[in-house]
Amino acid sequence: MKKVFPILAAAMLLFCGCHSAEKVIYFQDIASGEALPTRAIEPLKLQNGDRVSIIVSSGATPEAAMRYNLVLAQQSVGTAGRGASQNYVSVYTIDENGDVDIPTLGRTRIAGLTRSEAAQKVQSIFRNGVLNDAVVTVSAYDQYVTVLGEVKSPGRVLITRDNMTLLDALGAVGDLTIQARRDRVLVMRQEGNETQSYYVDLRSKDIFNSPVFNLRQNDYIYVEPNQVRISQSTYNENSFRQVSTWVSVSSLLISLGILIFK
């Protein structure tokens, strides 16, 4: 009979371990070597309120090109009396109509375009009789997503390239805590006059084909706490949970003992 109790204890630990693993392991349904349907990487499109720089350059007439660049300030670089001037280019803010007001060109709509598409559009306008060899570069500033809830370092995540995935953003905040629900990650996205909500299960390969796998600037990501974390919100509830758990375990052991020694 003495050998029975270690076996029962091991079985209980194995059951608890398997149950916990099902809750915390990512991508549980992916087989080795499996090809996964994945959303194509989508470059971010500029939105109303985004801040962008529009730099115009010219190989033949660089001085002429500089007239079209907004200069925020001029600073002396180097030792006193021998320093060179360094210009800081200002940025445009895309207005509520999706336009920026470019010197000489006037209002130009670039919202809804990628950075490269916006650069090509502005460049084509310049080359149509304004500056025939103009080269235009568009860069975006202060684009971010916000990650909240059960992650190690909640907050804003700056987008430093033309695309960011949901996994990139979660990795940037240090991943989910052990007390987070991996089966119910909420992504909220404003689309027109509505905010759409999408739930993602990180345990499943379906995440790679989710409409929010590729994030957009201003997306909000919320990671829900699991039941253990919720129960820890108050001392009494947590104490009750511990007591009830031990009562259940004790009852199970007593029942097993009665059956074995009967």
Could you list the residue range(s) of the whole structural domain that residue 151 is in? 23-43+143-229
Q: Quote the tokens at residue 251.
A: 């009852």
Q: pLDDT category, 76, cuts 50, 70, 90?
A: very low
pLDDT of residue 20: 62
pLDDT tens, residue by residue, 146-155: 999 999 999 9
Q: Quote the tokens at residue 49.
A: 């309120």
Q: Tokens 């336009």, residue? A: 99
* Residues 223, 147 share a domain: yes
* φ/ψ (deg, to 5) at 246: -65, -35
Give the residue among 108, 103, 104 at the shortest CA–CA distance from 90: 103
DSSP at 209: G
pLDDT tens, residue by residue, 19-67: 466 678 999 989 999 999 898 988 999 999 999 999 999 988 888 888 8
Beta-strand relationship, 180-191 and 194-200: antiparallel
Q: How many whole angstroms separate alpha carbon 178 and alpha carbon 239?
A: 20
Average confidence (pLDDT) over 214-228: 94
116 occurs within a structural domain: yes
246 occurs within a structural domain: no
Q: Is 136 helix (H, G, I), strand (E, B) or coil?
A: strand
pLDDT of residue 231: 81
pLDDT of residue 11: 47
Q: pLDDT category, 242, cuts 50, 70, 90?
A: low
**CA distances, 237 to each of 3, 16, 21 (Å):** 37, 22, 25
Q: pLDDT category, 80, cuts 50, 70, 90?
A: very low
173 occurs within a structural domain: yes
pLDDT of residue 13: 45
33 occurs within a structural domain: yes
Q: pLDDT category, 82, cuts 50, 70, 90?
A: very low
Q: Residue 200: which region, alpha, beta or left (left: phi > 0; alpha: psi -120 to 50)?
A: beta
Calculate the average pLDDT of the chain: 83
* Residues 158, 111 share a domain: no
Beta-strand relationship, 220-225 and 144-149: parallel
Cα angle, residue 49 at apex, residues 216 and 200 outer, rounded to 5°: 20
* Residues 67, 128 share a domain: yes
pLDDT of residue 243: 61
Residue with the larger pLDDT of the pair 20 and 143: 143
200 occurs within a structural domain: yes
Q: Is the pLDDT of residue 172 over 90?
A: yes
Single out the residue in 100, 126, 141 at which a domain terminates: 141
pLDDT tens, residue by residue, 93-125: 999 999 999 988 899 999 999 999 999 999 999
* Residues 126, 64 share a domain: yes
Average confidence (pLDDT) over 206-214: 95
- The contacts of residue 255 (CB under 8 Å, 6+ apart) are none
Cα angle, residue 226 at apex, residues 253 and 15 outer, rounded to 5°: 30
Our count of domains for the chain comes to 2
Single out the residue in 106, 141, 176 at which a domain terminates: 141
Q: Tokens 């021998």, residue? A: 82
73 occurs within a structural domain: yes
**Percent residues over pLDDT 90 in the chain:** 55
pLDDT of residue 254: 77
253 occurs within a structural domain: no
